[in-house]
């Protein structure tokens, strides 16, 4: 059980909808050339559960993932961490299957399992041989509604989460700073609250909180089932109907609503000093549209902007700061495009040798200004597109990655059609759109800059 990494594979390859190059196809149009038995299927059961089947018969392995459209950003004020806490508690057993039985069965057949919580979704998965898929569905469907919680299991698990926060946040200077940067960047939205929760609120979570959250959000009409691997679409349809189809929907679920983030009007800085820091570092973040909230073409432009500015060793930041000027040991950029609401675009860097943090930040700011003022070249754009799309093709070799990418897309407002159309939308981005995105969104006057610094001598 774990939290979804903050920038999972560069924001899930920039976007969760990036994996439409099915079976290595070069474009969305090529999908029609894929054999029928290998084409992705998408259907919805009568109770509202959406089912996506991703056939991949290269190995006798199946990834079974159940995604719920609820994450930490859906929590009530004062109950931060309840989505992640419930993720832990989902392994505590039901009347039909006592605690530990599900995990023991997976281990018996040589499979693996895990779960993760993000701002926008919570997911549970098992990876097993095809003949055990039915068993996974039976167990997973049972705990969707049959979870049994008592104080005897809830209270010790809360302590487990507290220790997890201690090890992942409280003892990690970069994590402490990251929490404060997010809380400063988001002035009114749940994305500013840590997924694991604030310590003082985790300590108060209880059985009643967990049950209320579970009964409200864990329903088939708030879930997406993704099955990838050596499977037949009709077989999955029959099994899903048998095991998940009997679960009643929750008619009281209601629309997914959240507080809106106000306009960003100020430049803010957050500084954290710690004696454990040996190499200083900085980050700069902006609130920008996600694929769900952006105007047509904007999110694709932001994706490519992140790739050109700081997506790897060929990027402007790396070439300028690390290779040419030699002032940085690291430098990069990212766009967390897979999000239900307005998201983050960020840059980061650390100095090298005699260079200072101020030198690195000033050089990175200069590269941003160059793109905003002068734009990019046609060759630069073409190379970035090729790198980006090539990485997506390579990602096709990861079966669980496919399930992750589709699941995260469908739980944050995208559709299977969006997934299939994504490569052509990336190809359609023009240089002027990237220049416009940099000028419009990477405004230094509405950014949040975080500084991670060593403890000053003479101070405790």
**Which tens digits make up the pLDDT trace of 333-383?**
999 999 999 999 999 999 999 999 999 999 999 999 999 999 999 999 999
What band does 35 get if pLDDT is binned at 50, 70 and 90?
low
Residues 176 and 312 in one domain: no
- State residue 18's pLDDT score: 37
What band does 7 get if pLDDT is binned at 50, 70 and 90?
very low
- State residue 20's pLDDT score: 31
**Residue 370 included in any domain:** yes
CATH at 159? 3.30.830.10
- State residue 36's pLDDT score: 60
Instruction: Report, as residue numbers or ranges, the catalytic residues.
Output: 87
Residues 80 and 229 in one domain: yes
**Residue 10 included in any domain:** yes
3-state secondary structure at position 29? helix
- State residue 31's pLDDT score: 41
Residues 170 and 277 in one domain: no
Average pLDDT of the residues in 77-92: 98
- State residue 6's pLDDT score: 35
| Burial call 357-370: b when 16+ CB within 10 Å, e when fewer | bebbbebbbebbeb
User: How far does the chain reach from its first CA to its final CA, in angstroms?
Assistant: 36
pLDDT by residue (tens digit) across 275-332? 999 999 999 999 999 999 999 999 999 999 999 999 999 999 999 999 999 999 999 9
- Residues pairing with 401 in the sheet: none
Residues 47 and 192 in one domain: yes
Domain total of the chain? 2
What band does 457 get if pLDDT is binned at 50, 70 and 90?
low
Residues 13 and 159 in one domain: yes
Widest distance between CA atoms in the chain: 70
**Residue 248 included in any domain:** no
* pTM tops 0.85: yes
Q: CB neighbours of 225 closer than 8 A, spacing ≥ 6?
A: 49, 50, 51, 52, 64, 65, 66, 67, 240, 244
- State residue 84's pLDDT score: 98
**Residue 229 included in any domain:** yes
d(C-alpha 106, C-alpha 137), whole Å? 12
Evaluate if residue 8 carries a pLDDT over 80.
no
Residues 188 and 332 in one domain: no
CB 82 within 8 A of CB 210: yes
**Residue 258 included in any domain:** no
State the residue range of the domain holding 420.
268-454
**Residue 255 included in any domain:** no
Residues 239 and 359 in one domain: no
Residues 15 and 130 in one domain: yes
Evaluate if residue 50 carries a pLDDT over 50.
yes
């Amino acid at each position: 059980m774990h939290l979804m990494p903050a920038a999972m594979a560069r924001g899930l390859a920039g976007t969760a909808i990036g994996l439409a190059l099915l079976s290595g196809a070069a474009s969305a149009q090529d999908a029609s050339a894929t054999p029928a038995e290998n084409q992705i299927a998408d259907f919805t059961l009568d109770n509202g559960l959406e089912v996506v089947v991703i056939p991949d018969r290269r190995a006798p392995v199946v990834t079974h993932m159940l995604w719920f459209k609820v994450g930490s950003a859906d929590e009530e004020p004062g109950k931060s961490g309840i989505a992640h806490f419930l993720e832990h508690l989902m392994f505590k057993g039901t009347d039909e299957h006592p605690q530990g039985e599900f995990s023991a069965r997976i281990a018996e057949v040589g499979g693996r399992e895990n779960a993760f919580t993000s701002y926008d979704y919570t997911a549970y998965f098992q990876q097993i041989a095809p003949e055990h898929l039915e068993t996974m569905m039976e167990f997973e469907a049972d705990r969707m509604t049959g979870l049994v919680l008592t104080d005897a299991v809830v209270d010790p698990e809360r302590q487990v989460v507290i220790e997890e926060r201690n090890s992942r946040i409280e003892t990690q200077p970069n994590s402490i700073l990251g929490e404060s940067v997010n809380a400063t960047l988001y002035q009114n939205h749940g994305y500013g609250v840590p997924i694991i929760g604030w310590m003082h609120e985790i300590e108060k979570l209880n059985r009643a909180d967990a049950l209320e959250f579970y009964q409200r959000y864990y329903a088939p009409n708030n879930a997406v089932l993704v099955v990838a691997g050596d499977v037949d679409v009709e077989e999955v349809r029959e099994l899903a109907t048998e095991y998940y189809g009997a679960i009643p929907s929750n008619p009281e679920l209601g629309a997914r609503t959240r507080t809106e983030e106000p306009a960003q009007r100020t430049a803010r800085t957050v500084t954290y000093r710690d004696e454990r820091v040996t190499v200083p570092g900085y980050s700069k973040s902006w609130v920008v549209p996600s694929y769900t909230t952006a105007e047509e073409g904007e999110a694709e432009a932001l994706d490519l902007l992140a790739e050109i500015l700081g997506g790897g060793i060929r990027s402007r930041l790396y070439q300028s700061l690390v290779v040419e000027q030699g002032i940085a040991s690291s430098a990069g950029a990212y766009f967390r495009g897979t999000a239900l609401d307005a998201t983050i675009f960020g840059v980061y860097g650390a100095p090298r040798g005699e260079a200072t943090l101020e030198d690195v930040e000033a050089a990175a700011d200069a590269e941003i200004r160059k793109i905003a003022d002068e734009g990019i070249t046609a060759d630069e754009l073409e190379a970035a597109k090729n790198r980006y799309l090539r990485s997506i093709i390579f990602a096709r070799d990861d079966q669980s990655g496919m399930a992750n990418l589709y699941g995260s897309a469908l739980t944050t407002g995208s559709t299977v059609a969006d997934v299939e159309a994504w490569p052509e939308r990336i190809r359609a981005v023009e240089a002027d759109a990237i220049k416009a995105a940099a000028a419009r969104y990477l405004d230094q006057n509405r950014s949040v800059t975080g500084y991670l610094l060593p403890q000053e001598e003479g101070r405790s």
